[in-house]
Amino acid sequence: MIGLNLLAFAATFVFGLVVFGTWTGPVDIRVLYLLGMKSNIDILNGQVWRLFTAMFLHIGPTHLISNLIGLFMLGPILEGHLGHWRFAAIYLIGGLFGSVASYAFSPALSAGASGAIFALLGATVLYFFRFRENFGQRGQEILRSMLVVLVLNLVLGGTVANVDNWGHVGGLLGGVLVAAGLFPTYRPPQVISLEAIQSGRIPLVREANRTLQIGWTVLALLLLVLAFWLASQAGPPLG
């Protein structure tokens, strides 16, 4: 995901140079617009793909770096616990929920991976909350840290100009929704060692639940389509 975001950022340089003869492609609205930033009027007129492409475009290096730092911090934690495809589903579907929320409530042109990053943040908070009894003190510390980061970012997004906070909130809720059905299913082991009891950390046995997780992913996609349809029927803000 970091690589895809970097490739998209490089593409804004190349596209700006080739088409407009400028080295400022990453901050040139003409370039970002043509490459697929979120534009409500165009999405309403059928360019639905902008909901996806906007997730990989960034308005300048500061915007890119801040999001990649978040991805670098959260990605290994969540991917390490859930695996590659579950991580990808949370990132992409949660990010699309962020795009749809921005489309539904914000008229501004926008771009960035922030919605997907908030999806990862919401999924991480939910994961360590659900399994808080099994990770000991370290898990409690991670949960508290993630909650502080979440609150600070939501407050910052609501007070700083030119921040698509609707995209953040949509991504957060989308990430929680998708992740809720993708977590592993565990059961207590048949034999518990004395050492595990004394440490207060009982290792659980992981059960197979892939069919349920695939079904949940399909359900999340259907809810995403429904949310987009409702936003289009209501008439998104066009500025």
Q: Which of 114, 145, 193, 199 is catalytic?
A: 114
In this predicted structure, what is the pLDDT of residue 83? 92
- Give the three-class secondary structure for 7: helix
CA dihedral 155, 161, 165, 166 (to 10 degrees): 140
- Give all domains of the chain, ordered by start, each with its CATH number: 2-234 (1.20.1540.10)
Contact 115/99 with Cβ under 8 angstroms?
Answer: yes
In this predicted structure, what is the pLDDT of residue 192? 62
* pLDDT tens digits, one per residue of 137-179: 777 888 888 888 888 877 877 776 678 899 999 999 999 999 9
- The radius of gyration computed from the CA coordinates of the chain, to the nearest angstrom, equals 20
Q: Say whether pLDDT at 27 is over 80.
A: yes
Q: Say whether pLDDT at 35 is over 80.
A: yes
- The residue with tokens 């088409």 is 19
Would you call 114 a catalytic residue per the annotation? Answer: yes
Overall size of the chain counted in residues: 239
* pTM for the structure as a whole: 0.89
Encoded amino acid at 107, one letter? P
* pLDDT tens digits, one per residue of 66-102: 999 999 999 999 999 899 999 999 999 999 999 999 9
> What average pLDDT score do residues 104-122 get?
95
* pLDDT tens digits, one per residue of 168-196: 999 999 999 999 999 887 766 666 666 65
In this predicted structure, what is the pLDDT of residue 185? 77
Contact 26/59 with Cβ under 8 angstroms?
Answer: yes
Q: Which of 63, 99, 106, 168 is catalytic?
A: 168
Q: Say whether pLDDT at 1 is over 90.
A: yes
> Apex CA 224: angle with CA 223 and CA 228, to 5°?
115
Would you call 66 a catalytic residue per the annotation? Answer: no
Q: What is the mean pLDDT of the chain?
A: 89
